[in-house]
Structure 1
Amino acid sequence: MPILTDRTLAELRASLPETASACVEAIVEEVPGYDRAFDPALRSNIERAVEQALSGFVATQIEGDRATSRATLDGAYRLGQGEAASGRSTDALLAAYRVGARVAWAQFAGSAVAAEEPAANVAALAEKTFAFIDELSAQSLAGHTAALTARTRELARRRDQLTAALVAGEARPALEHLAESARWKAPETLTALVVDGEPRTALATALGERALWSPVADGPTVVLVPGVRSNARNGLLERCVGTPAALGPTVAWTEAGESVRQALRALRFASDDDGADCDELLPELALDSAPLVATRLRERAVAPLEDLSPAKREVLAETLLAWLLHQGRRDEVAGRLHVHPQTVRYRMNTVRELYGDALTDPRRVLELTLGLLVEARTEPTSDAKDER
């Protein structure tokens, strides 16, 4: 049963275009996100949409016609979807509803009071007005959320496609197209971070939204990190302590696939406590890329130690490598090996007897250093550890 007289209802209906226009005007003036200028055609469409919603209110809530209720609510749902597509937030959408409800109620109340409607009718009109706006806003919010969820999933799918293409090393035009499709602003550089295990949540937070995560079912996790500076590399690896991790070289973003490949190779040198940085492992990576050459260098480097026990051979090889890397500075060598400097002196006397002039030949020193780097990659035996 209608809550207002026929004359008041007729006046309300006649004033709907004016009420709709007033609602839109107030929303544009008061709600951030709607304060940009609409072209005349778009504003006219919006005003018609508001007028249809108000007409639905009059029909369903005041006149008691439930036939148009579903259509009105469906329209509110679609409105929410459209607002999401336009990039407006739910806060802006709900604020627009609040402003619109205030203006519409002022217009409705003015008509009811002017028509001398009883106070009970005006109170009932107020209750129904704001209940209807709540119902409409809930439907629009649902539409907005559904649209954002669908868009988020679609963008995530496109980012996965972009990441896979970067890892695979696809051509620049394809990468640029995928980046645009994923709404991902390409940085100047990317650095591959490879983690052999489940990355910590703190790592994802630190890397930010622009980092690209490779959806790998099996094997290490690959993350492409934008704009890594040289002084930030250690910090990235420190965030992965507890899980083997490796950093590839920083390269132009379209060359990210090469960074991934180098990081995967460097992962062999990582441990739970120490990450591997490609920039610090260039000799090792060079040797790793030529296994036959590396084997030959190792064999030549340890040949003078062949007649020693495995434990003694490993201890002297380690000592010689440290001595070469630290250019014979005994205290530094002792610190690296965690032994007394006198122990280094004793061991090096034995080494000199075995290697002779090779320790003063620059070319042989280079070969020895590379060969012993390969030898150092093998795990020391328990006997060698005890002898230290």
Structure 2
Amino acid sequence: MERIVEEIREDLDRRIALAADRLTDRTLAREPAWAVPLGRAGVRERIRLVLRRILDGLVGACRGEPVDVADARAAGAERAGRGLPLDPLRRTYREGARLVWQCLTEAVAVHDRSALARLPAGPDALWDVVDRLTDAASEAYHRAGAEREDGERERRAALLDALLDGPGAAGADPEPALAAAVRLGLPERGRFAVVALAPPRPGTAGPGGPGGAADGAAGVADAPRVLWRVRADGETGVAELGHHPLESLRVLLAPLPVRAGISPVVASPAELAGARRLAALALRVAPTAPAGSGAALLDERLPAALVAADPELAARLREVVLGPVLALPGQEARVLLTTLGTWLACQGSTTYAAQRLYCHRNTVSNRLRRLEQLTGRTLSDPAHVVELALAHAALAHAPAAPRAKAGPPPADPAAGGGGPTPGGTARRSPRSPG
């Protein structure tokens, strides 16, 4: 076959050039983006080279030589780098193979019809060459695409870090954060919030899925756009709220088995670093349900966040205000602290607290009087109630050893304690786990 091709080389080159023109027109009609930035002449030259490589591969295959796939690999990698789909390239190889076979048989017939019998039996060898070329192009395309995606993830992670780890303080230069926001597709002014997630429990995954983060709203229709950043200590999301209320983030997270803290709304990407710190603080005081999930809006849990923000001061508050109670035997201390927490959750109603605790109203009154005697604070004095409420909130953030002295910490008042809760008597999260 090699001798036949050499004898008709001039005619074959002319036919392949004409075939390249036809295939170029067809290809650009389907995929005009290929002409950017090559132009029609550049695309035609690429297609002519494809046809030549198919013919050369066919001739080499008849001699038992391997197919040269270097150009196919380069073409696949180039398309991935430009973000073009792979299928049009594969189609070009297939259509090119038909044209090459047509050019070859026509040129041989004109030169010496009897030589047609010396061509490969059927186009099987031709399609084997095409398969090798398309496989090489596909492999290079997917490898380059994966590298491109990795680079894009790293770039986006760096931009999110610039937003989340920036100064975020009044008077700080906002330009780095604003530049990062623009590159992430975020507006310079708007409504933003930050979501901080605790590390997922084994066998579960956060919004970003196992091993990676994904933008979007986890399949929820008409939800805020959230850009997720995965770190070793948990996931952090930058939410562009738009017209959505802050509560929509809690709705978005409700189906997921994660604890979350949600910052207040900020108006500029330059404020997101500060919002991240507030979201992390909200996470520290997020409710803990049996399923290990729950989302806390910082503004709904400010007293608890206040004591959580300064562990040393919180420890002092516990000692000064509740020290005598914590010094009691474990069960006695636990009963008094649970009664206090329930009474606070019921907005100072002894009757409602008794319903939640499944005991008589007088029992609650007696426990509260005992607590007043031990602490030296009176529940009829608003200032004393504030001290007791903050000290009780500080119990949730006590180190393990001091808590063991008084037994397990009281239940989170926001999560309820059983029994009826009349409307308006306790401020509950609309999405508190139950």
Please indicate the TM-score interval, normalised by the length of the shorter structure: 0.7 to 0.9
Distance in 1 of aligned mates of 2:66 and 2:87:
25
Cα displacement (A) at 1:372 = 2.9
Unaligned runs of 5+ in 1: none
RMSD of Structure 2 on Structure 1 (CA): 4.1
Distance in 1 of aligned mates of 2:135 and 2:407:
73
Cα displacement (A) at 1:308 = 6.2
Cα displacement (A) at 1:251 = 4.6
Amino acid at match of 1:94: R
Which deviates the most, 155-164 or 305-314? 305-314
1:232 equivalent among 213, 238, 249: 249
Identity %: 23
Where does residue 322 of structure 1 map in the other structure?
342
Where does residue 19 of structure 2 map in the other structure?
19
Where does residue 84 of structure 2 map in the other structure?
88
Whether the 8 Å contact between 1:112 and 1:122 is mirrored in structure 2 is no
The answer on 1:173 being equivalent to 2:187 is: no
Distance in 2 of aligned mates of 1:52 and 1:251:
58
**What is the correspondence of 1:2-81 to structure 2 with a 5 Å cutoff?**
2=2, 4=4, 8-30=8-30, 34-36=31-33, 38=35, 42-62=39-59, 73-81=69-77
Distance in 2 of aligned mates of 1:293 and 1:17:
83
Cα displacement (A) at 1:238 = 5.4
CA distance 1:175–1:305, change in 2 (3 Å): closer
**What is the correspondence of 1:103-122 to structure 2 with a 5 Å cutoff?**
103-115=99-111, 117-118=113-114, 120-121=117-118
Where does residue 374 of structure 1 map in the other structure?
394
CA distance 1:27–1:340, change in 2 (3 Å): farther
CA distance 1:63–1:178, change in 2 (3 Å): same
- The two structures have a TM-score, normalised by structure 2, of 0.69
Where does residue 157 of structure 1 map in the other structure?
154
Cα displacement (A) at 1:12 = 1.4
Distance in 2 of aligned mates of 1:204 and 1:296:
39
Amino acid at match of 1:87: G
CA distance 1:332–1:227, change in 2 (3 Å): farther
Where does residue 222 of structure 1 map in the other structure?
235
Whether the 8 Å contact between 2:336 and 2:367 is mirrored in structure 1 is yes
Amino acid at match of 2:386: L
Cα displacement (A) at 1:18 = 1.0
Amino acid at match of 2:194: T
Amino acid at match of 1:246: A
Cα displacement (A) at 1:321 = 3.5
The answer on 1:277 being equivalent to 2:296 is: yes
CA distance 1:86–1:191, change in 2 (3 Å): same
Distance in 1 of aligned mates of 2:325 and 2:136:
81
SS, match of residue 247 in structure 1: strand
Where does residue 247 of structure 1 map in the other structure?
261
Distance in 2 of aligned mates of 1:312 and 1:100:
87
CA distance 1:376–1:142, change in 2 (3 Å): closer
Distance in 1 of aligned mates of 2:338 and 2:163:
40
Amino acid at match of 1:261: R
Distance in 2 of aligned mates of 1:93 and 1:124:
27
1:208 equivalent among 199, 202, 214: 214
Whether the 8 Å contact between 1:203 and 1:240 is mirrored in structure 2 is no
Distance in 1 of aligned mates of 2:340 and 2:24:
82
Amino acid at match of 1:11: D
Amino acid at match of 2:11: E
SS, match of residue 328 in structure 1: coil
Deviations 1:308-362 (A, max 9, x none): 6664344324323422331233453235445555532443454567789933333
Deviations 1:72-112 (A, max 9, x none): 52222111111112211223332332233334444444444
Deviations 1:90-142 (A, max 9, x none): 23332332233334444444444555634534654733433332222222222
CA distance 1:215–1:196, change in 2 (3 Å): closer
Whether the 8 Å contact between 1:29 and 1:35 is mirrored in structure 2 is yes
Deviations 1:283-316 (A, max 9, x none): 1111233456545654554378599666434432
How many residues align structurally? 374
Which deviates the most, 75-84 or 204-213? 204-213
Cα displacement (A) at 1:47 = 1.0
1:100 equivalent among 81, 96, 120: 96
**What is the correspondence of 1:263-302 to structure 2 with a 5 Å cutoff?**
263-269=279-285, 271=288, 273-275=292-294, 277-279=296-298, 280-291=300-311, 294=314, 297-299=317-319, 301-302=321-322
2:277 equivalent among 242, 245, 261: 261
Cα displacement (A) at 1:250 = 4.9
Amino acid at match of 1:132: V
Whether the 8 Å contact between 1:246 and 1:267 is mirrored in structure 2 is yes
CA distance 1:83–1:274, change in 2 (3 Å): closer
Whether the 8 Å contact between 2:193 and 2:262 is mirrored in structure 1 is no
Whether the 8 Å contact between 1:83 and 1:144 is mirrored in structure 2 is yes
Cα displacement (A) at 1:63 = 7.7
Unaligned runs of 5+ in 2: 168-172, 217-226, 410-434
Whether the 8 Å contact between 2:200 and 2:257 is mirrored in structure 1 is no
Where does residue 193 of structure 1 map in the other structure?
196
Where does residue 416 of structure 2 map in the other structure?
none
Cα displacement (A) at 1:249 = 0.8
CA distance 1:341–1:115, change in 2 (3 Å): farther
Amino acid at match of 1:316: L
Distance in 1 of aligned mates of 2:140 and 2:280:
44
Distance in 2 of aligned mates of 1:383 and 1:130:
77
